[in-house]
Structure 1
Amino acid sequence: YYVIGGGIKTSIFQDNVAATNGIVHYIERVLGVPYQSLWEILRNETRLQRSYEMLTNLQLRYSLDPWQVLTPEQNFTFFVPTNEAWDLKVAPSLRARMNDGNHWLALQYVYKRHIIQGQ
């Protein structure tokens, strides 16, 4: 596993170390200062294009507005499904329905399970 922060990619060499008030992951390098919003990262990362397209549809349906939620001022953790995750775990017909603009509540439900506010 690895993390990226401010353009610095580093591997996690020990994960899930329990603390009294949270979980600690030991990393091999100091992360850089972020210079892109999550929205910019989603837009520019080729492995996340399915999630980017689906989040764009949610914005149009007044839920999980990326222009409001995915900003540097927000404090949250977002577990973003990759293109491969969508392809392997979600049937193409279901993926198409969730992205057709008529089933945005189902898509919203999926993404809300991938965001942890305040962390």
Structure 2
Amino acid sequence: MSNPIRLYMSMSLDGYVAGPDDRPGQELGRAGGRLFNWLDDRESDGPSGQVYREAPATGAMISGRRTFELAGRWQGDHHNSVLLGEGRRLFDHLGGDHIELDLVRRLEDRDVTHLRYRVRRPEETA
């Protein structure tokens, strides 16, 4: 059995992963840092602390080129529910295929809800 792949992503309720005008020196765009206010609780025993401790336990981290570049090739720190109004969307280009997700965990903490989904395989959606 293969190991599962997990995606950890902070996204606003309206679907943005960065505010407007994201660029070097302003990697999360204007006001985009609000997506990561939940990290203030990363040392806690609460849900945000639990999620924070789980991320490095995955064994590897994969990022997109844009994130890698804007984070200064990991020499910076690029490391939440918020409305940004505009910026860069995570799900802009999904295509026409229908994707089914099963909610497997929901943890609520101050100013954030951590959700974990399992992607259904095509044979499971029929």
TM superposition score category, shorter chain reference:
under 0.3
Normalization by structure 1: what TM-score? Answer: 0.23
Higher relative contact order (CA 8 A, sep 6+): 2
More helix by share: 1
Q: Which structure is higher in strand share?
A: 1
Given the two structures, how large is their TM-score scaled by the length of structure 2?
A: 0.22
